[in-house]
């Protein structure tokens, strides 16, 4: 049985969060996701100033409210933001004040103790999810008063983990009874259903939505995704200091020595290249092979829904 609040469940056409992607997720992407029944989110730091961030939050809130008024029978999913809860985030206090003011229904925390954030978000009825990549991290986060754990498994884009989703979700369920979100190489309707069967309440999807018209990704980034396969990924901590999945062609374009990188004979640093992580060196998850063209958020959600419903029908026929 799903742990999602009944109100949220009724707002969703699919149990999906369009994951917050640094320098990729935009207000347009959030709005279109929510209008089509999945949770749209963005990293607060994608807005380079607090003033711009406030404008984004106003726009998202007002457009979704207006859509609800214009089409009351339509499922409009809640929106969310990603907050870095760490002393290195110099905008933490300012961004938290804007969360208090505009009350995003979902707040996703990363890299720190979310207990302070949870108290604030709960005061206005919102939900707090925290992303985790290990059992130790999950146990600690589970004790902070949050509502959901995002299990970032092997194959996830960005700073992905290394754990198998089958093993990770089973181990977490032994001590966690809240909302569970599964992340890592999920990019089709069949995979959404598989995650539900494993016990996930929601799934995190990022890579599938990068090559969309609403994305802030560059034209070159989108085209590289379309042309890339699973074999074009490398999992390394050489780019940001934290292990993540990156597109090898973007590293090659930035001037890094591919042979040495694959052999792990050197510790890459940006002294080799003027390229910047995320801006010039691009990430993708292991579901990259499912990105075939530049599409729209709406069309992708429609495709996912068709795949999901087809998988449901097939699952019924597989009963013994």
Lowest mean pLDDT among 80-89, 101-110, 166-175, 208-217: 80-89
Please tell me the predicted confidence (pLDDT) of residue 192.
97
Domains (ranges, CATH) in the chain?
6-216 (3.20.20.70)
The total number of residues shown for the chain amounts to 320
**How do strand 179-183 and strand 127-132 relate by DSSP bridges?**
unpaired
Give me 170's structure tokens.
């089973």
Please tell me the predicted confidence (pLDDT) of residue 188.
96
Lowest mean pLDDT among 173-187, 231-245, 247-261, 267-281: 267-281
Please tell me the predicted confidence (pLDDT) of residue 277.
59
Per-residue pLDDT band at 308 (split at 50, 70, 90): very high
Q: For residues 131 and 290, what is the distance between their CA atoms, to the nearest angstrom?
A: 24
Q: For residues 127 and 27, what is the distance between their CA atoms, to the nearest angstrom?
A: 20
Report, as an integer, the average pLDDT of 28-51: 97
Lowest mean pLDDT among 56-60, 102-106, 151-155, 315-319: 315-319
- Tens-digit pLDDT profile for residues 250-299: 888 888 766 666 555 444 444 344 555 557 789 999 999 999 999 999 99
For the CA atoms of 10, 16, 19, 20, what is the dihedral angle to 10 degrees? -10
Please tell me the predicted confidence (pLDDT) of residue 261.
60
Question: Which candidate, 132, 191, 190, places its Cα nearest to that of 163?
Answer: 132
Please tell me the predicted confidence (pLDDT) of residue 272.
47
Please tell me the predicted confidence (pLDDT) of residue 244.
84
Q: For residues 170 and 191, what is the distance between their CA atoms, to the nearest angstrom?
A: 17
Q: What's the whole-number average pLDDT of the chain?
A: 90
Residue with the larger pLDDT of the pair 241 and 308: 308
Phi, psi of 148, rounded to the nearest 5 degrees: -145, 150
Please tell me the predicted confidence (pLDDT) of residue 259.
64
Lowest mean pLDDT among 31-40, 65-74, 81-90, 240-249: 240-249
DSSP 3-state of 137: helix
């Amino acid at each position: 049985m799903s742990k999602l609040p009944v109100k949220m469940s009724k707002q969703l056409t699919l149990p999906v969060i369009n994951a917050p992607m640094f320098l990729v997720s935009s207000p347009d992407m959030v709005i279109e996701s929510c209008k089509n029944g999945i949770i749209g989110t963005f990293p607060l730091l994608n807005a380079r100033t607090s003033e711009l961030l406030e404008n984004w939050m106003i726009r998202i809130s007002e457009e979704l409210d207006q859509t609800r008024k214009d089409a009351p029978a339509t499922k409009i999913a809640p929106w969310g933001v990603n907050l870095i809860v760490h002393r290195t985030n110099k905008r933490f206090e300012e961004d938290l004040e804007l969360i208090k003011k505009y009350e995003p229904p979902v707040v996703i925390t990363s890299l720190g103790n979310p207990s302070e954030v949870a108290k604030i978000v709960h005061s206005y009825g919102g939900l707090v999810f925290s992303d985790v990549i290990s059992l130790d991290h999950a146990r600690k986060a589970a004790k902070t008063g949050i509502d959901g754990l995002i299990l970032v498994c092997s194959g996830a884009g960005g700073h992905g983990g290394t754990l198998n989703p089958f093993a990770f979700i089973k181990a977490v369920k032994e001590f966690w009874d809240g909302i569970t979100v599964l992340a890592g190489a999920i990019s089709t309707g069949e995979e959404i259903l598989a995650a539900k069967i494993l016990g996930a309440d929601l799934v995190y999807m990022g890579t599938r939505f990068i090559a969309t018209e609403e994305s802030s990704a560059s034209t070159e980034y989108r085209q590289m995704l379309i042309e890339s396969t699973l074999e074009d990924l490398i999992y390394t901590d050489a780019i940001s200091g934290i292990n993540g999945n990156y597109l090898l062609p973007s590293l090659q374009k930035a001037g890094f020595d591919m042979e040495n990188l694959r052999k792990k004979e050197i510790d890459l640093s940006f002294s080799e290249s003027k390229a910047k992580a995320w801006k010039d060196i691009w990430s993708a998850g292991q579901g990259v092979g499912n990105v075939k063209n530049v599409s729209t958020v709406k069309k992708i959600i429609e495709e996912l829904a068709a795949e999901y419903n087809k998988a449901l029908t097939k699952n019924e026929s597989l009963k013994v």
